[in-house]
A = this chain, B = another copy of it.
Amino acid sequence: MDVQIVLPIVLGISVVALIVAAVLAREVLSAPTGNADMQRISDAIRQGAEAFLSRQYRTIAVLSVLAAAAIFGFYAWNAEVPNIKQMGAGTAWKVTISFLVGALCSAIAGYIGMFVAVRANLRTAQAATMSLNRALQIALRGGAVSGLSVVSMSLLGVGGLFYLFGGMQDYQHVPLQIVGFGFGASFVALFAQLGGGIYTKAADVGADLVGKVEAGIPEDDPRNPAVIADLVGDNVGDCAGRGADLFESTAAENVGAMILGIALFPVFGLGGILFPLLARAFGLIATIVGVYMVSCREDEDPMNGLNRGYLVTTILAMCGFVAAVKLLLASPGTIEVHNGYLIMAGFVGILTAYAFVWITQYYTEYKYRPVREIAEASKTGPATNIISGFAVGLECTGPPILVISTALLAAYWFGRLALPTMDPMSAGLYGTAIATMGMLAPCAYILAMDTFGPITDNAGGIIEMSKQPEEIRHKTDRLDAVGNTTKALTKGYAIGSAALAAFLLFSAYLDEIHKITGSHMGVDITKMPVFVGGLLGATLVFVFSALAIKAVGQAAQVVIQEVRRQFKEKPGIMQGTDQPDYAACVDIVTRGALKQMIAPGLLAVLTPVAVGFAFKYLGAAMGFGNQSGAEAVAALLMVGTIAGILLATVLNNGGGAWDNAKKYIESGAFTVDGKVVGKKSEAHKAAVVGDTVGDPFKDTAGPSLHVLIKLLSTITLVLAPLFIL
């Protein structure tokens, strides 16, 4: 295959995917919008979400411009330092532009996803009054708008910058210059996920504590002034936040794999560098087919329909992967290449994705032992419920890590078998890169399933608040339950890909240092700066989580006070004679969440920078050589990633398990001494406590940790040359 046409093909497929996204959006938007009651509620959600996003983006824009200025300043100031100089002409502005484009694309991707999601909720609700299948399709297609645009924007951004910066000629330097794209994406993602995550849980916890606990009104009751803020939260946290999260994943991993491709240039030429983009583009086509295949019978579990679509997507993605390997990773004849082993490495990645999805289900669904144990523990009150849930969270780190360890070793092994005459280290690393590409092939479909969650959640809320008949509620409840499952699966998938990608990005970082200094960098943890760097990296993860969790509590306090004020000043609200001021609540959570996202965000960004610069000089003064800064940051990144994967798993799965233990008790299947124990029982009250504790864990701190892990990678990739004396 002529390598010159790869980039046009990738960009072409991306544009086609965007067009398909537009078609899907049109289809969703032209669906019927239900009665006036439903529209009023949906409008309020839409306005709240858009108001939050526009304010959030303004804050993030200011921070991004400051960060861009700092990056430009760092590079321009050091332009004459040999390390920087040899990165090629115009590095300072190229890195900075990449950063800004990455930030912008991330923001656009988040916006598009949410634009459709806050409209798809109403259409899904309306469709549910007619047909379950139609509702399922509208919700998934709404989600697919997000999934397709995220992945294609990332391909357009990386591929476009590579082309514009002249990567087809200067392939050695350009990937190092476009690392800024990944950093821009993670920078925006960090604040988007933090802000959205804080918003959604502050509104949720606040609404529940005043509504359910103090005023004694049910969840989603229209008399609760915070109820709209709660529904808005689902969109800004799950749609916009997770969209930005997965956008940066695809962006960072594309760039990382391209950098590793440079090392294999003698083997595959430009094809090795462009392979990640082509494999991902084929995955886009697979997703489009998969999404259009989804349907379900009226009496069927909608999850079956989604699973069929996932299976089709995965099979097609595997075929596309094989094709991409055959087309681009062929041997030029001079070096021995066993294509089959590279395909095996890719399949390792795809199997890992499956294993993670299965493990997450095991630990968070109430069909299985762990959640049932939590429900059992609820019998003796909230304390034992919490202890049991926390133990499940800690315990469930074991199986995923065994899977990841096996996957890393297997992929490494296949890489070496595929390239037997190559330097074994590079060959093995390329094997793990291929596995990561395999895992990420069906990414757009996974993202569509993720956004499906808040759309169906919102649809349920609209049906509930507009007081539709029982059988329609039943349909949206079923969709909502499926949405909860898909949200949990996506988090498992996000962690798995973060873990696999961490090694890829880390290797890219080392390769970058190698290119700059000409010598291979080891990260020897027996050296003091390296050990201290690792210690600080793990601590960053813990303190960051603390700040994220506390932020929810503080923002929730503001909501509680506002709702209390409204109940006090307008007693008619509770009697149903007066309208609550939804907008005031939305506004107050918005301000609270934006204020609270700053501290954890800055901590995450500044810690690696501070460690890098501190050890650049301190390490050298202590006799550890001129790469001490880079080595300390490498340890910070690696140990921080390990700690982050573990803590995020604890928080996500613990939270999910608590949530479903409550749902299990509510389901009516839970018995004590042969008698059914359900809602309003003491066990249920205890389970509600666990569910509330899990909320900020699984929807704020956990997902923010995914972003943090990748931010650490991209920030070190961008600043690596500056950490070397």
Is A386 located at the chain interface by the 8 A CB criterion? yes
Residues of B within 8 A of A532 (CB): 405, 408-409
Residues of B within 8 A of A383 (CB): 205, 382, 688-689, 692-693
Contact residues, A402-432 vs B (CB, 8 A): 404-405, 408-409, 412-413, 416, 424, 428
Binary contact track A380-398/B, C-beta < 8 Å → 1, others 0 = 1111101110111111011
Is A543 located at the chain interface by the 8 A CB criterion? yes
Task: Indicate if the CB atoms of A542 and B693 lie closer than 8 Å.
Answer: no
Task: Indicate if the CB atoms of A538 and B646 lie closer than 8 Å.
Answer: yes
In the assembly, what is the distance between CA of A510 and CA of B391, in Å?
35
A714 to chain B, nearest CB (A): 18
A627 to chain B, nearest CB (A): 13
Task: Indicate if the CB atoms of B209 and A413 lie closer than 8 Å.
Answer: no
Contact residues, A473-496 vs B (CB, 8 A): none
Task: Indicate if the CB atoms of B646 and A525 lie closer than 8 Å.
Answer: no
A359 to chain B, nearest CB (A): 13
Task: Indicate if the CB atoms of A538 and B507 lie closer than 8 Å.
Answer: no
Which of B384, B539, B696 contacts A398, CB < 8 Å? B539
In the assembly, what is the distance between CA of A385 and CA of B35, in Å?
42
Closest to A691 in B: B383
Is A609 located at the chain interface by the 8 A CB criterion? no
Is A639 located at the chain interface by the 8 A CB criterion? yes
Task: Indicate if the CB atoms of A535 and B642 lie closer than 8 Å.
Answer: yes
In the assembly, what is the distance between CA of A693 and CA of B391, in Å?
11
Contact A531 to B408, CB < 8 A, known contacts A394-B543, A543-B394, A553-B388: yes
Interface locus among A101-109, A455-463, A544-552? A544-552
Which of B380, B535, B549, B689 contacts A381, CB < 8 Å? B689
Task: Indicate if the CB atoms of B405 and A535 lie closer than 8 Å.
Answer: yes
Is A518 located at the chain interface by the 8 A CB criterion? no
Task: Indicate if the CB atoms of A394 and B542 lie closer than 8 Å.
Answer: yes
A343 to chain B, nearest CB (A): 20
Is A247 located at the chain interface by the 8 A CB criterion? no
Task: Indicate if the CB atoms of A416 and B547 lie closer than 8 Å.
Answer: no
A74 to chain B, nearest CB (A): 25
In the assembly, what is the distance between CA of A205 and CA of B380, in Å?
10
Residues of B within 8 A of A441 (CB): none
Task: Indicate if the CB atoms of B384 and A542 lie closer than 8 Å.
Answer: no
A316 to chain B, nearest CB (A): 31
Is A333 located at the chain interface by the 8 A CB criterion? no
Interface centre among A525, A531, A536, A689, by most chain B C-beta atoms within 10 angstroms, is: A525
A461 to chain B, nearest CB (A): 21
Residues of B within 8 A of A549 (CB): 387, 390-391, 394
In the assembly, what is the distance between CA of A689 and CA of B682, in Å?
14
Residues of B within 8 A of A542 (CB): 394-395, 397-398, 646, 650
Task: Indicate if the CB atoms of A387 and B209 lie closer than 8 Å.
Answer: no
Q: A424-B622, A538-B538 are in contact. List 8 more A-B contacts (CB 8 A).
A: A209-B381, A382-B689, A386-B386, A398-B539, A398-B542, A534-B638, A538-B643, A639-B642
Supply 15 A–B pairs (Cβ within 8 Å), ascending by A. A377-B553, A381-B689, A383-B688, A384-B553, A386-B386, A393-B546, A395-B546, A401-B539, A412-B528, A424-B623, A522-B524, A525-B634, A539-B646, A542-B650, A642-B643
